[in-house]
Amino acid sequence: MIIDGQADFRTLLMHHVTTHWPDAIITAYDPIEAGHLPDEFSGAGNDIILLGSEQDDRDGVDVLQQFVRKTSFPPVVYFGSEEDQEAAHSLRPAEHFIREHISHDSLVLGLSNVLLASQRVASTDTLFPGDLRTGIHPLIKGYRFIRRLGSTEYSGVYLAERESTHLRVVLKVLRQMPGDDEDGGAFDRFLQEYETIAEMDHPNIVRIYDLGVSDTHAHIAMEFLGGGDLRSKIERGIPERAAVQYLRQIAGALAAVHEKGVLHRDLKPGNIMLRKDGSIALIDFGLAKTAKLESEITDKGEIFGTPYYMSPEQGHGNGVDRRSDIYSLGIIFFEMLTGQKPFKADTAMGIIYKHAQAPLPLLPPRLSKYQALLNMMLAKSPGNRLKSAAEIDEWL
């Protein structure tokens, strides 16, 4: 169902939908001509609601709030202005677009994500037939989608199966298109770095099976790692012997990556995964330059992720090299051994300040034999740090 007071916009959305799903059944509703939908409106009979911001004398965000607060309401995709973007996003619609900046592929991908995440898709036989009910993504051919694993500002992440080999993979579909980033080259560098990783054969680096790029989207098919991430492992507690073993594996992977001229730039426990056999695999290379520090801070002011692991030079916007990754690994090693982050503060900038100014963290006496290595990894000045990740194994 499409709800918007602008006839041309309703027609545009109809065109996009029926071009991809020619058998879709669409109801168009004009709130200016027909009046506002009552509070009792339940959306029943619809798989998805496309809600535009043109709502006569009502604010589009107010109508969005009316819909999303209902527990059994269909997923709502909101098309608003740049001015109401923040207010609309806070209401957590199923998907959110700026109405003046809609491309066909991004819209189809967004609607498909919503429908794939909805339990209604599994039982839908008449609306949106074919590719969605059989698990085929509208833009990525050759993979059967099993379930959505999550999403970020830049990508949707799915568990999928390669149809030709029945191999389970993690499929990332990138939302940031070539030329969209302010830098102008970050997207290309991102893909180049993944191409470099795909050529590497290292037991502690995620295996890349497929890279696909078109004028409008890109995807990466990589190894499915079924053992969870290191962050969850730390929360449960890691024995000293296992922490040292993980450090050796991560350092070996970093050394191999650095030899290829690639920096990780965003090393943290959430980007270190475990296989079912307990071995480590690094993921998410080269994303830190496109990630914003603010995205690591929740609405409640809780800080997590990157600021805790930033080197002093990265936190202050200075140039970084392989020694920055070594610093991040030192923070992770301390956390694996103690279960605690060495530097904490109420704000992201407070943490960044401590990375640069606070004394080096001290391990408890029972772990003091690792203090010298930790000091060499966490030296404030890059010139005083270990020069390569390969040296970590020598120190151990």
Q: Which residue in the block uniquely carries the two structure tokens 């391990």? A: 363
User: What CATH number has the domain spanning 2-101?
Assistant: 3.40.50.2300
Domain residue limits, the chain = 2-101, 143-223, 230-395
User: Which contiguous run of DSSP H or E holds residue 171?
Assistant: strand 168-174
Please answer whether residues 117 and 156 qualify as being in contact, where contact means their C-beta atoms are separated by less than 8 angstroms. Answer: no
The pLDDT mean for the chain works out to 83
Question: Sign of torsion, CA 210 213 219 225?
Answer: positive
CA–CA distance from 361 to each of 337, 356, 367 (Å)?
Answer: 12, 12, 12
Average of per-residue pLDDT across 364-385:
97
| pLDDT reported for residue 183 | 47
- What single-letter amino acid sits at 251? A
Q: Which of 266, 277, 321, 346 is catalytic?
A: 266
- Please state, in angstroms and rounded to a whole number, the distance separating the CA atoms of residues 161 and 142: 9
Q: Which phi and psi angles does 54 have, rounded to 5°?
A: -80, 100
User: Matching CATH topology for 143-223 and 230-395?
Assistant: no
Range with the largest mean pLDDT of 149-153, 197-201, 310-314, 376-380: 376-380
* 266 is an active site residue: yes
Distance CA 250, CA 252 (A): 5
- Hey, which CATH number is domain 143-223, 3.30.200.20, 3.40.50.2300, 2.40.110.10, 1.10.150.20? 3.30.200.20
Does the global pTM surpass 0.75? no
What tens digit of pLDDT does each residue of 291-331 get? 333 334 333 333 334 689 999 998 887 888 999 999 999 99
- At residue 72, the pLDDT reads 83
Give the CA distances from residue 187 to residues 176, 219, 319, 380, in Å, rounded to whole numbers and listed in that order: 7, 12, 20, 31
Q: What is the largest CA-CA distance in the chain?
A: 76
Which pLDDT belongs to residue 125? 35
Angle, alpha carbons 181-186-192 (nearest 5°): 140
In degrees to the nearest 10, what's the CA dihedral of 9, 118, 25, 37? -60
- To the nearest whole percent, how much of the chain has pLDDT over 90? 44
At the fourth CATH level, which superfamily is domain 230-395?
Transferase(Phosphotransferase) domain 1 (1.10.510.10)
Confidence at residue 295, expressed as pLDDT on a 0 to 100 scale: 37
Per-residue pLDDT of 283-298, as tens digits, reads 877 543 333 333 343 3
